[in-house]
């Protein structure tokens, strides 16, 4: 794919991200991806760019895993379908039936617990983690910790939007982070 076509798709995606100051609390500039979801062309652009990146970087992917409720769930199944692989949910504690594995993590504004069904990922499976936004890295860090507990191999993390000044990517090392849009 030519760079100019990629640039056009990124510009389209960027044009669909809205900024809301002081949400959910004062001092936070919230990046809203809802307009991406409302625009089929922008949603296709996100999915295509993720697909091209994954196919270019990784020989084998067994699963796409979404960290955490809820907006990662919107991009994850679309990418999994494109890649011809399964999709697995990481959810807030208490939302999944059956045996689960859980981990505690820090949020931008508090603490929480994430969990996954114990049989969702098999040891040695190669997984891609996906979420809508990377801020402090808490939720993706928790998803990585769950993958470690289940002995899966994390190939990398994908996000539509990365807030660079919060250094979330540093928290996820050694795992790579691929973000479509970056904001300071």
- Tell whether omega for the bond before 9 is within 30 degrees of 0, i.e. cis: no
From 167, 164, 160, 133, select the one nearest 14 (Cα to Cα).
Answer: 160
What does the block give as tokens for 101? 């594995």
Residue 25: CB atoms within 10 Å: 9
Active site residues: 71, 108
Q: How far is CA 125 from the centre of its chain?
A: 18
Q: Please tell me the distance from the alpha carbon of residue 133 to that of residue 181, in angstroms, as a whole number.
A: 9
């Amino acid at each position: 794919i030519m760079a100019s076509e990629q640039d056009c798709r990124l510009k389209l995606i960027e044009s669909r991200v809205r900024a809301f100051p002081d949400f959910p609390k004062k001092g936070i500039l919230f990046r809203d991806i809802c307009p991406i979801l409302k625009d089929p062309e922008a949603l296709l652009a996100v999915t295509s760019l993720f697909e091209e990146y994954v196919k270019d970087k990784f020989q084998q992917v067994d699963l796409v895993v979404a960290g955490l409720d809820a907006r990662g769930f919107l991009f994850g199944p679309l990418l999994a379908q494109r890649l011809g692989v399964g999709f697995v949910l990481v959810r807030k504690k208490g939302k999944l039936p059956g045996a689960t594995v859980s981990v505690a993590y820090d949020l931008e504004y508090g603490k929480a617990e994430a969990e996954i069904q114990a049989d969702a990922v098999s040891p040695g499976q190669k997984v891609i983690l996906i979420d809508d936004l990377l801020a402090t890295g808490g939720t993706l860090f928790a998803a990585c910790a769950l993958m470690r507990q289940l002995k899966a191999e994390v190939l990398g993390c994908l996000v539509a939007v990365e807030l660079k000044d919060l250094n979330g990517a540093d928290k996820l090392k050694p795992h790579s982070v691929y973000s479509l849009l970056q904001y300071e």
